[in-house]
Chain A
Amino acid sequence: MLYFVARRLVSALSVVLVTLIATFALFFIAPTDPAAAICGDRNCTQERYNEIKKNLNLDQPKVQQFAEYTAGIFAGRTFETSGVIQDCNAPCLGYSFKNDRPVTQMIKDRLPVTVSLVAGYAVLVLTIGVFVGSMAAKRRGTLGDRALMSSTLILSSVPYYIVALMISLYFTILYPILPRGGYTPLTDNAGKWFAGLLTPWLVLGIYNCTAYARYSRGSMVETLSEDYIRTARAKGLSDRKVTYKHALRSGMIPVITIFGLDVAGSLAGAIFTERIFDLPGLGNLVLQSLETYDLPVIMGTVLVASVVLVAMNFIVDVAYSLIDPRVRLS
């Protein structure tokens, strides 16, 4: 088991390294002028342009530029802006000259918002989605199964942003039965934190649990027809134990793969949800930095997103091996 985890960890780290190189290459080695891009085109003075160029050692060989960029991530570096030296502590993902702030700091400010949103969403989507899917699988072919499955299909065929916008408009503004979206740090006021996130959680969770219900149903239908389920029934186990202990454990394996990728994707920025419910999370940061073409921020968020993805994959792999002992062998 330990060996398995160690091996997966090594491969995960090497993927992160490759992503780092790829991100850097995308923005610095491509035939563009990174200094001009970082400086922006509206209020970029020649002075500032030169400053950036010097700061980023753009006149040095690419390898050295990359080395400094990487060193910044692990050890921190400094930037000079308008004659003032700015410390950028490790992990330094660059410096936003547009906002006069280190990128890492900007991401750190936004991260708790997105993590709060995704954590609640993950709980909802797993419990409701899997439960609905298992119920439908157990009653497959019956009216209840068909009703559940067609309603999930109808709900998920409406684009998400329409559903979210409508719910936000009707249920939090016109007929305010749900609290308005917003973010208060958990440490400041837990009640307000919960109230502000409740609507986004529900909307994101219920909308996406339709997909989970269908995945789980398919997977559970298959598992419930396995011979070992018949064995479990032959032992005299109750229907509930057969479904929610014996079948669920095998039936969850494919669902967990999708769950891992989904959570990773949402952590990198649940853009629609954050925008519609006014949550200052990573998704909003990505959107802002794209609008203003704030290159260091874009690079930083891309890197964070890919690290999150790799980390989630690693977690999914470990979860697999905990659920299925056969995985540990291969």
Chain B
Amino acid sequence: MTTPAPEDRKDSMAESAGEQAAAAADAKRGPSVATREKRAGLMNPSGETPYLVVEDLTVKFPTADGVVSAVNGLSYSVPLGRTLSIVGESGSGKSVSSMAVMGLHDRKRTQITGSIRLGGDELIGLSENDLMKVRGDAVAMVFQDPQSSLHPLYTIGNQISEAYRVHHKVSKDVAKKRALEMLDLVGIPNPIRRFGQYPHEFSGGMRQRAMIAMGLVNDPKLIIADEPTTALDVTVQAQILDLLNNLQKEFGSAIVLITHDLGVVAEMADDVLVMYAGRCVEYGTAEDVLANPRMPYTWGLLESIPTVSAASEKLRPIKGLPPSLLNLPSGCSFNPRCPYKDRVKGERCTTDLPDLLPVDGAGAHTSRCHLHDKASIYETEVLPRLS
């Protein structure tokens, strides 16, 4: 996998210009969901040419109780050197969507539609053999719990060199040298000794460093980090985030960071995508989404962050539970938990699924909500509660 050639860039720019023209034509006849969402996916909020483009991604698992739509029409894009944070509760589809990018779902039990393009190359529909060449090479994944994600019966060194040798035809010695370099790079002291040790001889933070070393051994253009700090000590979390940040600066990779921790988002993200019940509900640059959120679910997430200063306050959780993906509420999936749904005229929240629309009519910051006065509600009601 290579960086997009200049021709590709021109092409995709031409394409997006075409899309815009089409969208403008559509605007006369009234807005079309499909073109708008497509455009949102193609263009990155930053305006840079994306490396990873996910368009209208849908992931379904047929089960005994019915078809579970874990991800529904998800679109986003990440340019090299930028970090996209995907935020949401458990079961919102964040992990499922990124597993789809890696092609890690069981093919027989999963229906994936839409488009996932990596440096211009379509991944959906690739054979298992072709996907194998992408996995671990152009895209690497760092998993949540390094304790269970590292093989307990192989040495750390063995696992890292193996990852290198899958994609490079080199001798064991060369792979070992490379693994030692990586261990050193991720800040593991005494790599030579550590090379021959097993995961149970590593501390939690060291294990995650080793995991990152394994992910980066083939110099991937895209790193998907699935809650990389959730299983770690708070003091270690910061170190791991710093490490990821520094490595990104050094190698210029695109990062998709899956998390439910808005503190991590604030520290790491360039762009933020908020997911709820398998759909994107708000998407924009980190600045836009964190400072000017335009969706009650995002407000709820921000309000539920405990603050130390507000000593008297109790925690303010989002009331209720995420809906079952087998049986989504009609209209906006968030409506049963939304404290603002009475302010929308009629029953629109319970009957119509809101489109993902630009919050200010034109920009790259989009949200999925029927509320008209989102900006004023946020500024007058939500913001005072946040400080």
- The interface of chain A, by Cβ under 8 A from chain B, is 142, 226-228, 230-239, 246, 249-250, 323-326, 329
- A236 with B153: in contact, given A231-B143, A325-B198 (CB under 8 Å)? no
Q: A228 contacts which of B140, B148, B167 (Cβ < 8 Å)? A: B148
CB-based contact A236/B133 at 8 Å: yes
Given A230-B104, A325-B200, check contact A235 B134 (CB 8 Å): no
Q: Are A234 and B136 neighbours in the complex by a CB distance under 8 Å?
A: yes
Residues of chain B within 8 A of A142, CB atoms compared? 108
Could you say which of A238, A239, A246, A329 contacts B151, with CB atoms under 8 Å apart? Answer: A246
Q: Which residues of A lie under 8 Å from residue B166 when comparing CB positions?
A: 235-237
Bound state CA distance, A27 and B128, in angstroms? 66
* 9 pairs of residues in contact across A and B, judged by CB atoms under 8 Å: A227-B148, A228-B151, A230-B149, A235-B166, A236-B137, A237-B136, A237-B166, A249-B153, A325-B200
Chain A residues contacting B148 (CB-CB under 8 Å) are: 226-228
Interface SS of chain A: helix
- Contact between B145 and A236 (Cβ–Cβ < 8 Å)? no
Contacts of A326 in B (CB 8 A): 152, 198, 200
Q: Assess whether B349 is interfacial by the CB under 8 Å rule.
A: no
Query: A234-B102, A236-B137, A326-B198 are known contacts. Are A228 and B150 too (CB-CB below 8 A)?
Result: yes
Task: Kindly state whether residue B162 has any CB partner on chain A within 8 Å.
Answer: yes
Report how far A232 CA is from B102 CA in the complex, Å: 12
- Name A329's closest neighbour in chain B (CB-CB): B200
Closest A-chain residue to B136, C-beta based? Answer: A236
Query: Pick the contact of B141 from A234, A249, A325, A329 — CB < 8 Å?
Result: A234
* Beta-carbon contact of B145 and A227 below 8 Å: yes
CA distance A88 to B211 in the complex (A): 64
How many Å from the CB of B179 to the closest CB on chain A? Answer: 13
Q: Which residues of B contact A231 (CB under 8 A)?
A: 141, 143, 149-151, 211, 214
Q: How far is the CA of A236 from the CA of B135 in the complex (A)?
A: 5
Contact between B135 and A228, CB atoms less than 8 A apart: no
Contact B135 A234 (CB under 8 A): yes
> What residue in chain A is nearest B141 (Cβ atoms)?
A234
Q: Report chain A residues within 8 Å CB of B133.
A: 236
Chain A min CB distance to B101 (Å): 11
How far in angstroms is the closest Cβ of chain A from B195? 14
Residues of B within 8 A of A228 (CB): 148-152
Report the minimal beta-carbon distance from B208 to chain A, rounded to whole angstroms: 12
B100 within 8 A of partner (CB): no
Cα(A236)–Cα(B140), bound, Å: 9
Is the beta-carbon distance between A234 and B153 smaller than 8 angstroms? no
Interface presence of B132 (CB below 8 A) = yes
Nearest chain B residue, comparing its CB with the CB of A322:
B153
Complex contact B162–A235 (CB within 8 A) = yes
Question: A247's closest neighbor in chain B, by CB?
Answer: B151
19 further A-B contacts with Cβ under 8 Å, apart from A231-B214, A329-B200, are A142-B108, A226-B148, A227-B143, A230-B149, A235-B162, A235-B214, A236-B132, A236-B134, A236-B135, A236-B166, A236-B167, A237-B132, A238-B132, A246-B154, A249-B153, A250-B152, A323-B153, A325-B198, A326-B152
- The residue of chain A having its C-beta at the shortest distance from the C-beta of B128 within the complex is A239
Q: Which residues of A contact B149 (CB under 8 A)?
A: 227-228, 230-231
Closest to A239 in B: B128
Cβ < 8 Å to A, chain B residues 159-176 = 162-163, 166-167
Please indicate which of the listed interface residues B134, B137, B151, B211 has the most CB atoms of chain A within 10 Å of its own CB: B151
Say yes or no: A324 contacts B153, CB within 8 Å.
yes
Q: Which among A235, A246, A323, A325 is the interface contact of B136 at CB below 8 angstroms? A: A235
How far is the CB of B332 from the nearest CB of chain A, in Å?
33
Query: What is the minimal beta-carbon distance from B364 to any residue of chain A, in angstroms?
Result: 31
How many Å lie between the Cα of A315 and that of B137 in the bound state?
41
A226 vs B148: C-alpha distance when bound (angstroms): 7
Chain A contacts of B151 at CB under 8 A?
Answer: 228, 231-232, 246, 250
Min CB gap A324→B, angstroms: 6
What residues on A are CB-neighbors of B137 within 8 Å?
236
- What mask results when residues 117 to 145 of chain B are scored 1 for a CB within 8 Å of chain A, else 0? 00000000000100011111100110101
Query: What residues of B have a CB within 8 angstroms of the CB of A233 in the complex?
Result: 104, 135
Q: Which of A142, A226, A233, A238 has the most CB of B within 10 A?
A: A233
Most buried by A among B102, B152, B200: B152
Structural contact, B132 and A234, CB atoms closer than 8 A? no
Hey, which chain A residues are within 8 Å of B143, CB to CB? Answer: 227, 230-231, 234
CA A326 to CA B133, docked complex, whole Å? 33
Known: A325-B198, A326-B200. A234 touches B150 (CB 8 A): no
Q: Which residues of B contact A237 (CB under 8 A)?
A: 132, 136, 162, 166
Output the least CB separation between A143 and chain B (Å).
Answer: 12
Rounded to whole angstroms, the CA-CA distance of A282 and B211 in the bound complex is 53
- A residues near B140, Cβ cutoff 8 Å: 234
Which residues of chain A are near B141, meaning CB under 8 Å? 231, 234
Task: Give complex CA distance A237, B133 in Å.
Answer: 9
Q: How far is the CB of B97 from chain A (nearest CB, A)?
A: 15
How far is B149's CA from A235's CA once the two chains are assembled, in angstroms?
12
B153 touches A235 (CB 8 A): no
Q: How far does the alpha carbon of A91 sit from the alpha carbon of B198 in the complex, in Å?
A: 44
